């Protein structure tokens, strides 16, 4: 029994010695009208004395203002609580507040520790959802090429997917008995026109004859029918000049684009119902974004999106569409991008960041928050070297910032670095003080 008592006394002596050493290194300077003798670790400053809030309360010589809801918030001048915002009230019995919850560090020690402060501020914040997307062609720009007549493809100028096609370019040549018959009918009409015009011209001026005008308009309509079959005006003029039907007719592309699908080859018999080729305009593309169920619940149309291209550039846009249907437990969302410079190639993958649930929030640097098993805390600066550990409730994280849901108000200053040393010193100081008080009551 005597050995246990001796061991306890020895342990208590070690703790008291540690507390003495800490109190010599860590203190706060409070303005006073009297000049005190400087300690060995502090530069003498005229008109100041070095003491902690515990010593102030114990001496009863200084007035203390405290928070009614958070008694650990104490200072020697009026103000508001940085936790709840209530006005601090002046204590009628300063000596009663003899428990110091924080840690006090002189200016020299703060500089040695490299403590840097950051204020709680209000700023727009959103939850960042990181995923990937697949660049695909814009479905609204797809153009299917059909033949206008039955026939056989004699020559094909489209050879591979990805080939760039210009508007008016010859894409294939076709032999069509129906088209030859239409040409012969048109040539017979041209011959009758010429004969009629010659006969009427010998009788009266052509410009004054309504029959001539109707004849010319009908001829124009017949010529337009060939143009609607994607036959070029050069082929029509060749047929009119030679007065012979063209057996193998050249067909032109009605729209420019990149070939995405080929369904016909040379020698194939084709009909108007069959799609020969599919073209797409890649100057505008879609990015098909993959979302998982837990992500899709936080995303909605109009959310800001950042897309990182393969060459490292970032594109800012907004979400166009979120598919209400899932496929293989995945939900697809989509954005539309201008791809005039062809930086995005359909079929490639890109990194996507969706900025979901944007709102105004109080934020702190992520490095200022200490995550513990009992929750999150920060080291609150009370000014003049006084630091206090405060529990807070955090929300979403975005980049280098973290949301403060509860525990701090806007404008409160916290330690961004060195907070682990401050927290350890505060815990040791608080434990030593409680042991010292317990020893006095025995």
Domain ranges (residues) in the chain: 127-138+282-357, 151-268
Residue 30, pLDDT score: 33
Q: How far apart are CA 274 and CA 263, in angstroms?
A: 9
Answer whether 123's CB lies under 8 Å from 358's CB.
no
Main-chain phi, psi angles of 50, to 5 degrees: -100, 120
Give the C-alpha distances (Å, rounded to integers) separating 33 from 37, 47, 61, 107.
13, 6, 12, 20
Residue 278, pLDDT score: 95
Residue 94, pLDDT score: 55
Residue with tokens 């797409």: 280
Q: Where are the beta strands (DSSP E) in 102-169?
A: 103-104, 116-119, 121-137, 143-146, 151-156, 164-165
The residues, ordered by sequence, that sit 6+ positions from 27 with a Cβ below 8 Å of its Cβ are 39, 42, 50, 51, 52, 104, 105, 106, 385
Q: How far apart are CA 382 and CA 78, in angstroms?
A: 12
Q: pTM for this structure?
A: 0.59
Residue 37, pLDDT score: 37
Please identify, in words, the CATH class of the domain defined by 127-138+282-357.
mainly beta
Give the pLDDT of the chain (442 residues) as one tens digit per residue: 566 565 566 655 555 544 444 444 443 333 333 333 333 333 333 333 333 444 444 444 467 777 777 666 766 667 787 777 787 777 666 545 544 556 667 677 777 777 788 888 888 888 889 999 999 999 999 999 999 999 999 999 999 999 999 999 999 999 999 999 988 888 888 887 777 777 766 555 555 566 666 767 777 777 788 777 888 888 888 888 888 999 999 999 989 999 999 999 999 999 999 999 999 999 999 999 999 988 888 899 999 999 998 888 899 999 999 999 998 899 999 999 999 888 899 999 999 999 988 888 888 888 888 888 788 888 888 777 777 788 888 888 888 888 888 888 888 888 887 655 555 544 544 544 444 555 454 5
How many CB atoms neighbour CB 129 within 10 A?
Answer: 21
Residue 65, pLDDT score: 76
How many CB atoms neighbour CB 384 within 10 A?
Answer: 15
Residue 74, pLDDT score: 64
Residue 89, pLDDT score: 76
Q: How far apart are CA 151 and CA 179, in angstroms?
A: 9
Helix H or strand E encompassing 110: helix 107-113
């Amino acid at each position: 029994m005597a050995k246990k008592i001796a061991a306890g006394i020895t342990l208590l002596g070690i703790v008291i010695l540690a507390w003495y050493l800490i109190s010599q290194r860590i203190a706060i300077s409070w303005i006073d009208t009297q000049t005190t003798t400087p300690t060995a670790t502090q530069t003498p400053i005229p008109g100041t004395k070095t003491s902690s809030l515990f010593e102030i309360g114990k001496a009863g010589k200084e007035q203390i203002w405290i928070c009614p809801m958070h008694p650990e918030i104490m200072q020697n001048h009026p103000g508001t609580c940085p936790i709840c915002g209530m006005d601090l009230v002046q204590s009628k019995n300063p000596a009663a507040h003899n428990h110091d919850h924080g840690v006090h560090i002189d200016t020299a020690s703060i500089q040695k520790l490299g403590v840097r402060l950051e204020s709680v501020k209000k700023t727009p914040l959103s939850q960042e959802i990181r995923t990937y997307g697949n660049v695909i062609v814009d479905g609204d720009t797809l153009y299917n090429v059909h033949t206008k007549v039955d026939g056989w493809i004699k020559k094909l100028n489209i050879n591979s997917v990805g080939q760039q096609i210009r508007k008016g370019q010859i894409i294939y040549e076709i032999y069509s008995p129906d088209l030859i018959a239409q040409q012969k009918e048109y040539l017979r009409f041209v011959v009758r026109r010429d004969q009629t015009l010659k006969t009427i011209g010998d009788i009266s001026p052509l410009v004054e004859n309504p029959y001539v005008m109707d004849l010319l308009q009908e001829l124009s309509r017949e010529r337009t029918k060939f143009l609607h079959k994607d036959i070029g005006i050069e082929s029509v003029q060749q047929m009119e000049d030679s007065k012979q039907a063209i057996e193998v007719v050249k067909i032109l592309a009605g729209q420019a684009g990149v070939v995405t699908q080929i369904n016909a080859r040379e020698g194939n018999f084709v009909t108007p119902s069959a799609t020969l080729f599919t073209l797409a305009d890649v100057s505008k593309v879609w990015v098909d974004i993959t979302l998982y169920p837990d992500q899709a619940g936080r995303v909605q149309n109009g959310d800001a999106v950042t897309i990182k291209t393969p060459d490292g550039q970032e594109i800012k846009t907004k979400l166009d569409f979120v598919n209400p249907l899932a496929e293989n437990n995945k939900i697809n969302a989509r954005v539309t991008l201008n791809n005039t410079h062809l930086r995005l190639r359909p079929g490639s993958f890109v990194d996507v960041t969706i900025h979901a649930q944007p709102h105004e929030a109080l934020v702190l640097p992520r490095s200022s928050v200490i995550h513990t098993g009992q929750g999150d805390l920060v080291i609150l600066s009370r000014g003049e070297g006084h630091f206090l550990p405060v529990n807070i409730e955090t929300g979403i994280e975005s980049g280098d910032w973290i949301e403060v849901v509860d525990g701090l108000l806007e404008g409160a200053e916290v330690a961004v670095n060195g907070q682990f040393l401050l927290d350890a010193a505060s815990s040791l100081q608080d434990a030593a003080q409680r042991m010292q008080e317990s020893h006095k009551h025995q």
